[in-house]
Amino acid sequence: MSAPQALERALAAGVNRVVVIGTDATSSAEALAITDLTADVELYATVGLHPHDALQDIEEIVALARQGHPRLVGIGECGLDYFYEHSPRAAQRAAFVVQLRLARELDLALVIHCRDAFDDLFDVFDVEGVPARTMIHCFTGTPEEATECLARGTDISISGVVTFKNAESLREAARLVPLDRLHVETDSPFLAPVPHRGQPNEPALVSVVGEFLAELRGEDVEQVRRETSKNSARLFKIDHS
């Protein structure tokens, strides 16, 4: 599916704002370029170096961020991944610290990937501090880890993983997140929610996750849609008028 097709389908599903996430120098440049498309959906981008690719040149990300693109709203996806550990832990941590500091320097949102690495994540936070607008992207941790993230001032974003049969611990964590700190995402093209699991994910399916969360938390669907939209506008400093 092409980007214009995905955006058309998103708009038809009621999605009118998309943040395209960078994970290395190439995808970050592409994310910025996508924001130049003519579309009825508002388009924004982040630039970042994923922990899987922590050995790549972080200075390319720094240079992209400092260009000051008008649609750049965040740094990331960056962080720590000790589940796959495709890059050495020391390299992951070093690249993450550079990006955390960059987000603070440029007053941009920080979008964090963390898998099986929360102890080290909290150690970085305790040493470096937490930028004012920080989100744990695609959170898949425990209720205890969610509580620790919230205590340090981060927002938490939930993806289609919450709909999976074996995700009871995540569902418990999702119930703990205050509505004004909650985000809903797709992580496209990965992690399509049930009943679309196994298919390529797309922005149009974000409402499936949001509706599931509303039911899980015992909240009104429209209220969850409205409040999570406000939360993303706040996080990324996007006009919500």
Does domain 3-236 fall under CATH 3.40.50.620? My reply is no
Look up the pTM and report it.
0.96
pLDDT-flagged residues of the chain (< 50): none
Edge-first strand listing for the sheet containing 109-115: 17-20, 42-47, 72-81, 109-115, 134-136, 155-158, 182-184
Residue with tokens 């196994």: 198
- Distance in angstroms (rounded) separating the CA atoms of residues 20 and 229: 16
Q: Please, which residues have CB within 8 angstroms of residue 214's CB and are 6 or more apart in sequence? A: 220, 221, 223, 224, 225
Determine the Cα angle at 206 with ends 193 and 15, to 5°: 155
Confidence at residue 22, expressed as pLDDT on a 0 to 100 scale: 98
Q: Domain locations in the chain?
A: 3-236
Question: Which tokens sit at 56?
Answer: 């790549």
Please count the other Cβ atoms lying within 10 Å of the Cβ belonging to residue 174: 21
Determine the Cα angle at 218 with ends 214 and 223, to 5°: 50
Q: In whole angstroms, how far apart are CA 124 and each of 62, 86, 121? A: 19, 20, 5
Max CA-CA distance within the chain? 45
Confidence at residue 3, expressed as pLDDT on a 0 to 100 scale: 87
Q: In whole angstroms, how far apart are CA 108 and each of 50, 79, 135? A: 17, 15, 11
Confidence at residue 241, expressed as pLDDT on a 0 to 100 scale: 55
- Distance in angstroms (rounded) separating the CA atoms of residues 139 and 237: 21
- Distance in angstroms (rounded) separating the CA atoms of residues 105 and 72: 14
